Structures are given as structure tokens and as C-alpha cells.
Amino acid sequence: MFAEIIIPLALPKNYTWSIPEALQEEIMVGMRVEVILGANKRYAGIVKKLIHQKEIGFKTKAILGILDEAPIVFPEQLALWEWMAKYYLCTEGEVMQAAIPSHLKISSESVFVLNESYTPDVHQLSDAEYIISEALEIKKVLNLLEIQKLLDRKSVYPVMNKLIQKGICLVQENMVDKYTIKEETIIQLDPRYKNESTLEALLNDWTRAPKQLELLLAYLHLLKTEGTVLQKDLLQKANASHAQLKALIEKGILITEKRKVDRINSQIIETDEIIQLSDAQKISLTSLKEQMQLHGVCLLHGITGSGKTQLYVSVINDLIASGKQALYMLPEIALTAQMIRRLKLYFGNSIAIYHSKFNPNERVEIWNKVKSGEIKIVLGARSALFLPYKELSLIVIDEEHDASYKQQDPAPRYQARDTAIYYANQIGAKVILGSATPSIETYYNAQQKKYGYIYLSERYSKGSLPIIEIIDTKKQIDNTTVLTPSLLKAIQETVANYKQVILFQNRRGYAPYMICQTCGWIPHCHHCDVTLTYHKAKNLLSCHYCGASYPIVTTCEACGKQDFKQKNFGTEQIEEKLSKALPHVHIARMDLDNIKGKNEHDQLIQQFEKRQIDVLVGTQMVVKGLDFEHVDLVGIVDADSLLNFNQYRVNERAFQMMEQVSGRAGRKNDQGKVLIQVSQVQHPVIKMVQEHDYFKFYEFEILNRKHFAYPPFSRIVSILFKHKDNTTAEEACNHFLLSLDPAIQKTVLGPAQPVINRIRNKYIWELCIKISPKADQLNLAKRQLLHYLQLIQVHPRYKSVQIILDIDPN
């Protein structure tokens, strides 16, 4: 017996290992196994296929051991991984790396073992070498972290190399399971004192140690109120020390017990919320259920605030009643916190959140509960698609148009929406795509009757869509003003009426760049071809591409003058200007600079919901699907920045962003108001946003796409060539182009350098290939691209060039 095994590395193909006779009865597809790859590097791989044949045609290494009692993934997931690797031109190892929680990827760790057969001459050793050799004499085995602590420094490899060369120690590879079971110490009463009269006698005869008596009384109170008493809760309630608790344990009054506890909150939530649907929603729900019988994928197109979530809840409710599982996908982690509170009203503990901000141990526990079927509904970002669902029957993709569903780096660079549609089709599940501004491709598929289509045209609260007013920034007396007088006045009036405001600017930081007013020199990142953003709160210049930070520049490097001016503005500057103009207004900012932790999004959102904040300034985090009852005014501070991108999706992204942020206003009964500050007042997208006319926008955009053969009338493959030398990157790009089949060469745009042509000291050249959307032509083109990619990667001049293939780029 042999096994084809997926290793979490970017290997060109999966390799085969032989299965020792002792393991042949136990091994199953989907289990983790320990294998050696190369000389002695150990990996935990996943069994993809079992092969029963006498000879395999080449010599194989044996599997060292099985790491699981049961498979951790199902065959359907392995099939999905294989499709993703083929479609997105990556490897199954890269898909596994993205799919599996890090603590299920048991890793190999180098340990240093004492060579018992060698006696060192201590006089020939340096101080550091002597310390390590003495520690090895005592412990026999040391890992890297222990050595770093002993020497109090991080760079220990030179010392260890010398010890290996001198024969004092050897290197071994051990497999390390990083997942740990969480345990809590439970405090219990000794069985002797469970009798009331015995306990009463103990308390009445107590004469000394009043603190211990206080601790015991606190325990008895917690036991009565909580049932189970945790050590940490007891010490906190009694304000006692470990020594006092230890004394009661030594006297035989209390005993301790270690118990496994859940990291995932399993507190029972009573749910009595009833789904209240409007007449329009009832009609749409009936239509949605009919369409789901006819189509595998349905588009629920509802204007902002139309109550799409209640329809999702109704459909999910029907499914989980029959024991099935559902996945509810959102584009941003920021959205999950508010949504989970809403969904728990209906589903209680049947629902769990899964995304990358959870710690690795929590992710493993959710993984196992989904696999066992204990969790019925998962709410998550794109990574939730990889969980091992037992009986998945519905995938809801909310805000399906959002660019965040596309993974950028590293591989696999997959589009979660498209991947979910393929996966659902393979396992017989249904998909609901929801949006107020569907992507052009999705709406086109609905028009072609490929998807079912349902339109919700009125708001749930019977309110109207907000009125949109355009403020022409060219007509302002001071054209450098961040907030125009009209916008400031509207903010003041809204807050005075005890309503809330959202201000949107899709740039974080204080000022996107600084410029010398004498010669025009602009500070750039040393590693990227991009201007540095000024962050006033941190008092530094920051590169938003590589993350490098620099001190504030006061002297021009070109002319030596000290005359700098900040140009343009980000969310930090808007917050500051608004605080000065309206000092009594409570203002908060939501962007990547001040929202970092797992719970920080939720804390800020809850403060806004409770009206502790009057004005919320933010980047696109504030745009996506959040529902605030008291927001009456939305301000788009710089719409021009959304319209001026050199990209074929620019109109689509701008329309979606402005329509979505407008939809945050007046969601409950009142008619909201939106003010858009823009200089390009005649731009067609601005006119369509003002009219809330998605259908007119679609007709305008689909004609352009057809005329220039962009999606959905073609499939795009972007190929990036990166190298520290610009000439080498350019030559590799041209060499690859000339290698291609002449039929493919005709469809290529480029070679060209992107707007940001150097990131992290690597120059970038790009080819953009338009391929027919027909599956056979797409697959043929991909096979050719992979073939030529393999050829260029062994070319002596270009093998050091990093080449990135991106299918269906944003």
C-alpha cells in the first residue's frame, strides 16, 4: 500500500510514501501522517489518496506514523483543494497551508541532543559554548528557545554550528503539536464536609486564620450561586492569595481538580426572537424559495436597508430544523461582531464565528465542532469556507460584490465567492448571493438566467432612500478645506437633533504625502516607489506598502530648504479638523491604525450603537453592511479619490462604495441625507449614485466591458515579474511574452510597469492576458502558461525572478 500525501509547501506535485504494514489497517484518507521529506525534515501531511498496487515504479520512503484517530478533513474538502490548485494555478500544499488552522499543521522543530560518545576539552570552548555544553550535560536535549534564554540573545546558530562541528551535540527533528487543551482548576469541598452537620461544626469551631475562613465562606457562596467554582473566580471574589487556598487544601477541607474547558463560549442563550417580515419581504421570500428549487445560485438584490438579513435568517431557520449546516459569509471581520449579535437572537448557540483574528487554539476547537456537526451555523470571512462541514446545505454570501472576498497574498489567490459557488455545486448545497450593488459579473449571470434573481425594492422600515446632495469643491473659496462649510453645518444640525453622522474617506493617516514648497521634492519609501504617509499621532512617516516607518523630514534632501507642506488628507486629519470646528461633539475614528485586536471593532461599533459617539470617521470599514439606527447624515469627504484609479473596475468600485456608504443613512423611518464633496460633478457615476440607479449604471458599464472585452466577456490572468534588478524583471517579462503561443500573444496587454513599480526592493513588471470565458479555451491557456512558467523558472538568467500568476484579479 502507498499513499499520496499533501504537504503544506509549494511543491510542484504531491509525493507518494509507502505505508508500513502495521499502519495499513488504521490509515484513512484525510488523516494527518508524519513523513520525512528530503534528508531529514519532518512534516505533518494529509493523506489524499490510498494506492493499492504491488510496485509503484520508484523507491519510496515509509510513513513514520499516523497522527489522528479519525480524518480531520472530508474527501469533499480534498476535492475542493485540488480544484482550487488547478483553477488558481497554485499547489495543493499552498491551499492546505491556507485552509488548515496553524495548530493542526504539526510542525517539525530542531532540537540539539548531547553526543554521549564524545568528551569535550572544556579549555577549547568559548564562554557561550561552555554554557550550552554544561546545560546539555544536565538536560541531554535543548530546543532553540531554551538556548536563546540561556545565552540571552536571539542569534545562537553560530554557537550551535561550532558545537556540532566539534562533535559535542547532534541535531534532531522532532514533531511538535502546538494545540493545547485548555484546563481550569475546579475547587471542590472534601466529601467529608458535604454533610451539613459536619460543615456546621467545622465553621463553629473555627478560631484561627480569619482570612482562610473568609475564603471558605466565599467558596460556599459561589458554590450556591454558580454551581461550579473556578480557582481564579474564588481568589478574585475573596481577594485571597494562593497561599491561603493552599492552606485549606493541606487541611483537607478543599480539594482541587483539573478539568478540560471550552475556549468557545458555550453558555446557553435563550432565543425567543420571532422573524417579523414586511409584506414586500414575504413576497421576496416566497420568490427566493421558488428560485432555489430551480437554481443552485440565487442573487438577492435588495436596496440598502431592505432587510436582506431577515430573509437569510428565514431560509437558514428552515434548513437547520432538519439538522443541516449553513455558512454565512461576510467580506470583513469588522462586520462579524455586529452580525453575530443579531443572529444569536434567532439561533442562540447553534452559531459560531470563524476568522483569522481568533487565536490558533480557538480555531482548532471551532474546526472540530463544525466537523462533528455540533455547530450548525458558521458566520465568517473567506477562510470559513475551508471548515470541515458535515452536512453543509446552504452558503449565504452577503455583500457579494466586495473586493475583500479575493485573497491577494500569499497563494492561493482565490475569489471566495466563486470558490463557494463551485464547492456548493460539488456537494449539492445552495448559494444565496446578497447585495444592494451586485458585481457586474453576478448581475450579468442573473440576466443570462444562470442564477435565480429576486429584487427587494423598498426599505424594511418603510423609509425612503437618502437624499444625495453634491458639493462642488471647485466652487469653494478655500479649495484646501477638508470639510466644506455646507458639510460642517449639516453635521452640526444633525448632532443638535440627537442624530449621528458617518464621515467616509478611503485614506488613513493624516496626510498622504508631504512636499517641499521650494523645489517640489517628496519623501519616498527607501524600499518602495511610493510616497510616505504622515501619521501625526505617531509623529512619523509610514509606508502603507511595506510597513516601514521613518522620522519626520524637516530638511529637503534636494535643495536643503525647510519648507514642507502636507498635501491632501486622511481620516486622522478629518478627525482633528472636526474636533477643532465642533469641540463639544464626540468623535471616533475607525481605520486600520486604531482598530487592531479581535474585539476592538466590536467595542467601537457598540459605543456608536449606544450613541456614545456622535460622529464616526472611517475608511471602507464603515461602509460595509453595518446597521445603525440613528445615523441621519453621511458625508463622503473626497469622492474624487474613488474615481481616479487606472483600473477597469474603477467605475464599478466607485459606484458600489458611494452607494453602500449612502445606505448607512436613514435606515429607520427617517429619510437620511448624504453629502458628497467632489470636483468632477459631471462624472456619469456621480449622477447615477445621486439617483440611486443601479440598473442605469449596469447598462452603462456592461457596454464598456463588452466594447473592450473585459469580464464578464473574458477572463483575465495577471502575471507579475518581480526582481531586485529592474532590467532583469523587464527582460524576464519580455522573454515570457515572446515564448507564448502567437494566439495568446494577441490577447496580451503589456509588458508594463504598474503605478507602484517597486515594493520591498523588488521592481515589478506585468502582463495582463484576456482569455475567452469558455472553459475549454481557459483550461488550454492555463496549461500553456504553466508550461512556459516552468521553462522560464529553470532559465539560468531568470530563475531568480519571482513570478506570480493571479487568476481573475480584482
Average pLDDT over residues 188-208: 84
Q: How confident is the model at residue 466 (pLDDT cuts 50, 70, 90)?
A: confident
| Selected residue with higher pLDDT from 93 and 257 | 93
Amino acid 487: pLDDT: 92
> With contact defined as beta carbons under 8 Å apart, do 482 and 511 qualify?
no
Amino acid 670: pLDDT: 73
> With contact defined as beta carbons under 8 Å apart, do 627 and 338 qualify?
yes
Instruction: State the residue for C-alpha cell 467595542.
Output: 603
- Whole-angstrom Cα distance, residue 701 to residue 703? 5
Residue 180 has pLDDT above 80, yes or no: no
C-alpha cell at 590: 475607525
Spatial CA neighbour of 434 closest among 624, 662, 159? 624
Please report which residue ranges of 106-195 form alpha helices under DSSP H. Answer: 127-139, 144-151, 157-165
Instruction: State the residue for C-alpha cell 513514520.
Output: 64
Amino acid 401: pLDDT: 93
**CB within 8 Å of 352: residues ≥ 6 apart:** 264, 366, 369, 370, 375, 377, 378, 379
Spatial CA neighbour of 114 closest among 140, 92, 85, 83? 140
Q: How confident is the model at residue 178 (pLDDT cuts 50, 70, 90)?
A: low
Q: Tens of pLDDT along 741-764?
A: 888 888 899 899 998 999 999 999
Q: In this prediction, what percent of the chain has a pLDDT beyond 90?
A: 46
Amino acid 118: pLDDT: 77
Q: Tens of pLDDT along 402-422?
A: 999 999 888 899 999 999 999
User: What secondary structure letter does DSSP report for 356?
Assistant: T
Spatial CA neighbour of 559 closest among 525, 514, 521? 521
**CB within 8 Å of 759: residues ≥ 6 apart:** 527, 528, 529, 530, 545, 546
Residue 551 has pLDDT above 80, yes or no: yes
Q: What is the pTM of this model?
A: 0.82
**CB within 8 Å of 716: residues ≥ 6 apart:** 710, 768, 769, 770, 771, 808, 809
- Whole-angstrom Cα distance, residue 686 to residue 673? 15
- Looking at the chain, the number of H-run helices and the number of E-run strands are 25, 34
Spatial CA neighbour of 327 closest among 443, 433, 412? 433
- Whole-angstrom Cα distance, residue 601 to residue 520? 39
For residue 402, give the 3-state DSSP assignment. Answer: coil
- Whole-angstrom Cα distance, residue 696 to residue 482? 31
- Whole-angstrom Cα distance, residue 430 to residue 726? 48
What spatial distance separates the first Cα and last Cα of the chain, rounded to whole Å?
A: 44
Instruction: State the residue for C-alpha cell 442605469.
Output: 696
Q: How confident is the model at residue 652 (pLDDT cuts 50, 70, 90)?
A: very high
Query: Please, how many CA atoms are within 13 Å of residue 751, restricted to the half-sphere of its CB?
Result: 18
Which H/E stretch holds residue 769? strand 762-771
Please report which residue ranges of 513-610 form alpha helices under DSSP H. Answer: 571-581, 600-609
Amino acid 198: pLDDT: 85
Q: Tens of pLDDT along 326-367?
A: 999 998 776 777 788 888 888 877 888 887 777 788 888 899
Amino acid 454: pLDDT: 95
Q: Tens of pLDDT along 473-484?
A: 888 877 667 889
Which H/E stretch holds residue 255? strand 254-260
Distances (CA, A) of 79 to 421, 422, 760: 14, 11, 36
Per-residue 3-state assignment (H helix, E strand, C coil) for 145-157: HHHHHHHCCCCCH
| Selected residue with higher pLDDT from 125 and 154 | 125
Spatial CA neighbour of 805 closest among 94, 99, 5? 94
Is the CA virtual torsion 97, 100, 102, 103 positive or negative? negative
C-alpha cell at 42: 519532518
Q: Tens of pLDDT along 656-695?
A: 999 988 888 876 667 789 999 999 999 999 999 999 999 9
Q: Tens of pLDDT along 253-288?
A: 898 888 776 656 544 444 555 678 888 899 999 999
Amino acid 477: pLDDT: 76
Q: How confident is the model at residue 107 (pLDDT cuts 50, 70, 90)?
A: low
Q: Tens of pLDDT along 376-400?
A: 999 998 999 999 999 999 999 999 9
Residue 302: Cβ-neighbour burial (10 angstroms; 0-12, 13-18, 19+): buried
Amino acid 624: pLDDT: 67
Average confidence score pLDDT of the chain: 88
- Whole-angstrom Cα distance, residue 330 to residue 378? 11
Which H/E stretch holds residue 126? none
Burial 323-345 (b: 16+ CB within 10 A, else e): ebbbbbbbbbbbbbbbbbeebbe
Distances (CA, A) of 46 to 26, 33, 71: 14, 6, 9
Q: Tens of pLDDT along 450-462?
A: 999 999 988 876 6
Report which listed range, 91-95, 181-185, 660-664, is most confident.
91-95
Residue 734 has pLDDT above 90, yes or no: yes
Amino acid 270: pLDDT: 46
> With contact defined as beta carbons under 8 Å apart, do 297 and 588 qualify?
no
